[in-house]
């Protein structure tokens, strides 16, 4: 009897020991089912593309998210997405946990399985909800439904424990990045305070002031104080041209350029068709009509990702690079704008040029014959800075002489949205910068200095330790 009991106890002990050994072996990362995990470097880009399309819809319709605020938001959501899946990519990729002061990214549990597309899906949904709390109900519903659509698919392919663990981790990453963003008090919640009632533009000849027809107050006059990712006080522009009313002065000659181009467009003379096409093609200024000027380059990134058929991981990295670059571009451009406080062409032309007291731009017509000028100083062009930072990043990833056709607005009827083709990203950036002249809201010096500023910031983004 004792021997029988002893045998039973031995068998039971062996079974328990075997179970323990088996469970320990499953905790060994080498035994994790890599097919189950959804390797980001093998998965399709579709999940990231879909979420960035959703985000551009949200930023388009959410009040307060015009150029620099939208750019900052794109930077943080891009970083959150990258951090969500970087641990599932090869060991050649780096996390920025601790690299940026105060950024504390949670780590996945050692030895446990994660399904990285599920992680990313949860991160995008959580991050967009965090960063756009005042989005219209229709846009928030789109966020919710997109998350659910992907989850329905993932639930069929992924064991429940892995699915739940992955969702939880993705939300933790989104929360961590959002909480870090909130430590930047100058940028946090800025969509609720786009103007400062106490801000008084500096007086003086040639200085910016609110412009016709709406005379809106300065947009984000202190945005230059917002925390950057890589840009710093060395990212500056040279002094703008000296103000002068002399017809032989350089600033007068530069004012003639938008003056004549706009007049040609309105009259339908000269090269009006092409100039109007360029002006419309790059505008993205009219609230709710399109995504923002910063968002435009996320849309361009999507086209490049599709063209190159990048992996999910490669796509997320590119979106992160571009988003962070756009964020810094907006901050430094606005810093320089409110350092120099240079007036817009509309005021120079109306005040200085003969018979031009009623001259106006061709930006964002409201149907009554009125057009608009952005409510902040001219120099440098933020538009040009956004385009150049994106071009520098695209060139680094895909090559300097890369030909592509931008179809962002193909099929639009509200403006000339016909695609345009470029032989390089620098050609794209320079046309984007130039487009502010025929639309009538910038001098050439604004475009030139904005491009230079953007290229410099883009180089800094590219130098970040993305890879080991």
Residue with tokens 């009897």: 1
Name the residue with higher pLDDT: 24 or 114. 114
- pLDDT in the model for residue 229: 98
- pLDDT in the model for residue 350: 98
- pLDDT in the model for residue 85: 98
- Whole-number Å distance between alpha carbons of 281 and 73: 24
Whether residue 9 is predicted with pLDDT greater than 70 in this model: the reply is: no
Angle, vertex CA 386, rays to CA 256 and CA 366, nearest 5: 60
Q: For the chain, how many residues are written?
A: 468
What are the pLDDT digits (tens) for 439-448? 999 999 999 9
- pLDDT in the model for residue 35: 67
- pLDDT in the model for residue 225: 98
Which of 26-30, 115-119, 192-196, 274-278 has the lowest average pLDDT? 26-30
- pLDDT in the model for residue 30: 40
- Whole-number Å distance between alpha carbons of 327 and 131: 14
What are the pLDDT digits (tens) for 180-203? 999 999 999 999 999 999 999 998
- pLDDT in the model for residue 460: 98
Angle, vertex CA 388, rays to CA 383 and CA 390, nearest 5: 100
Task: Write down the architecture of domain 33-182 according to CATH.
Answer: Up-down Bundle (1.20)
Residues with Cβ within 8 Å of residue 255, at least 6 apart in sequence: 345, 348, 349, 352, 353, 443
Q: Identify the CA nearest to 346 among candidates 224, 191, 211, 147.
A: 211
- pLDDT in the model for residue 366: 79
- Whole-number Å distance between alpha carbons of 95 and 117: 17
Is residue 415 very low, low, confident or very high in pLDDT (cuts 50, 70, 90)?
Answer: very high
- Whole-number Å distance between alpha carbons of 180 and 11: 54
Which spans in 158-249 are helix H? 160-182
Side-chain half-sphere exposure of 367, counting CA atoms within 13 A: 1
Cβ atoms of 435 and 381 within 8 Å: the answer is no
Which of 12-21, 64-73, 114-123, 393-402 has the lowest average pLDDT? 12-21
- pLDDT in the model for residue 369: 75
- pLDDT in the model for residue 218: 98
Q: Identify the CA nearest to 342 among candidates 237, 468, 426.
A: 237
- Whole-number Å distance between alpha carbons of 379 and 337: 5
- Whole-number Å distance between alpha carbons of 242 and 70: 32
Q: What is the mean pLDDT of residues 371-391?
A: 98
- Whole-number Å distance between alpha carbons of 140 and 199: 33
What are the pLDDT digits (tens) for 27-36? 333 445 556 7
Cβ atoms of 117 and 126 within 8 Å: the answer is no
Cβ atoms of 56 and 293 within 8 Å: the answer is no
Q: What is the mean pLDDT of residues 402-426?
A: 96
What are the pLDDT digits (tens) for 316-354? 999 999 999 999 999 999 999 999 999 999 999 999 999
Residue with tokens 């050609």: 427
Q: What is the mean pLDDT of residues 272-299?
A: 96
In the chain, where are the structural domains located? Answer: 33-182, 199-462
- pLDDT in the model for residue 162: 97
Using only the alpha carbons of the chain, give its radius of gyration.
Answer: 26
Cβ atoms of 328 and 389 within 8 Å: the answer is yes
Q: What is the mean pLDDT of residues 421-435?
A: 98
Which of 22-31, 148-157, 317-326, 381-390 has the lowest average pLDDT? 22-31
Inter-CA distances, 62 with 191, 399, 452, Å: 9, 35, 31
> Whole-prediction pTM value?
0.92
Whether residue 18 is predicted with pLDDT greater than 50 in this model: the reply is: no
Inter-CA distances, 235 with 74, 141, 287, 379, 449, Å: 21, 40, 29, 14, 11
- Whole-number Å distance between alpha carbons of 304 and 404: 8
Whether residue 42 is predicted with pLDDT greater than 50 in this model: the reply is: yes
Class of domain 199-462: mainly alpha
Longest dimension (CA), the chain: 117
- pLDDT in the model for residue 33: 59
Cβ atoms of 319 and 45 within 8 Å: the answer is no
Residues with Cβ within 8 Å of residue 401, at least 6 apart in sequence: 423, 424
- On average, the pLDDT of the chain sits at 93
What phi and psi values does residue 406 have, to the nearest 5 degrees?
-85, 115
Question: Under the phi-then-psi rule, with left for phi > 0, alpha for psi from -120 to 50, and beta for the rest, what region is 87?
Answer: alpha
Is residue 66 very low, low, confident or very high in pLDDT (cuts 50, 70, 90)?
Answer: confident
């Amino acid at each position: 009897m004792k021997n029988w009991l002893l045998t039973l106890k031995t068998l039971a002990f062996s079974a328990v020991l075997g179970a323990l050994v088996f469970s320990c072996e499953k905790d060994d990362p080498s035994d994790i089912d890599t097919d189950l995990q959804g390797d980001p470097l093998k998965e399709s880009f579709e999940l990231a593309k879909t979420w960035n399309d959703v985000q551009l819809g949200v930023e388009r319709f959410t009040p307060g998210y015009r150029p620099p605020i939208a750019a900052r938001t794109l930077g943080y959501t891009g970083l959150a997405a990258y951090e969500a899946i970087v641990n599932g990519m090869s060991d050649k990729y780096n996390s920025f946990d601790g690299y940026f002061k105060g950024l504390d990214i949670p780590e996945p549990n050692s030895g446990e399985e994660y399904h990285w597309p599920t992680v990313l899906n949860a991160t995008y949904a959580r991050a967009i909800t965090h960063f756009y709390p005042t989005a219209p109900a229709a846009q928030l519903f789109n966020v919710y439904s997109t998350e659910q659509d992907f989850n329905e698919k993932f639930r069929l392919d992924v064991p429940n424990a892995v699915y739940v663990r992955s969702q939880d981790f993705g939300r933790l990453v989104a929360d961590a990045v959002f909480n870090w963003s909130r430590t930047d008090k100058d940028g946090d919640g800025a969509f609720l305070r786009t103007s400062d009632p106490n801000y008084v533009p500096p007086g003086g000849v040639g200085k910016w002031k609110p412009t016709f027809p709406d005379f809106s107050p300065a947009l984000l006059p202190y945005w230059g104080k917002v925390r950057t990712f890589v840009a710093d006080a060395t990212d500056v522009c040279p002094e703008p041209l000296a103000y002068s009313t002399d017809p032989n002065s350089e600033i007068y000659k530069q004012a003639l350029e938008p003056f004549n181009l706009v007049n040609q467009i309105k009259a339908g003379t000269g090269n009006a068709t092409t100039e109007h096409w360029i002006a419309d093609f790059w505008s993205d200024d009219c609230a709710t009509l399109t995504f923002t000027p910063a968002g435009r380059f996320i849309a361009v990134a999507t086209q490049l990702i599709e063209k190159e058929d990048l992996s999910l991981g490669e796509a997320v990295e590119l979106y992160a690079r571009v988003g962070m670059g756009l964020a810094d571009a907006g901050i430094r451009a606005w810093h320089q704008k409110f350092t120099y406080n240079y007036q817009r062409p509309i005021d120079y032309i109306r005040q200085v040029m003969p018979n031009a007291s009623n001259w106006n731009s061709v930006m964002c017509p409201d149907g009554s014959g009125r057009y608009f000028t952005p409510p902040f100083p001219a120099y440098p062009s933020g538009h040009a800075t956004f385009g150049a930072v994106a071009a520098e990043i695209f060139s680094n990833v895909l090559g300097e002489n890369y030909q592509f056709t931008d179809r962002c607005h193909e099929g639009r009827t509200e403006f000339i949205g016909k695609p345009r083709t470029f032989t390089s990203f620098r050609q794209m950036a320079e046309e984007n910068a130039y487009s502010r002249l025929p639309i009538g809201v910038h001098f050439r010096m604004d475009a030139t200095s904005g491009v230079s500023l953007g290229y410099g910031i883009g180089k800094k983004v590219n130098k970040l330790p993305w890879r080991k």
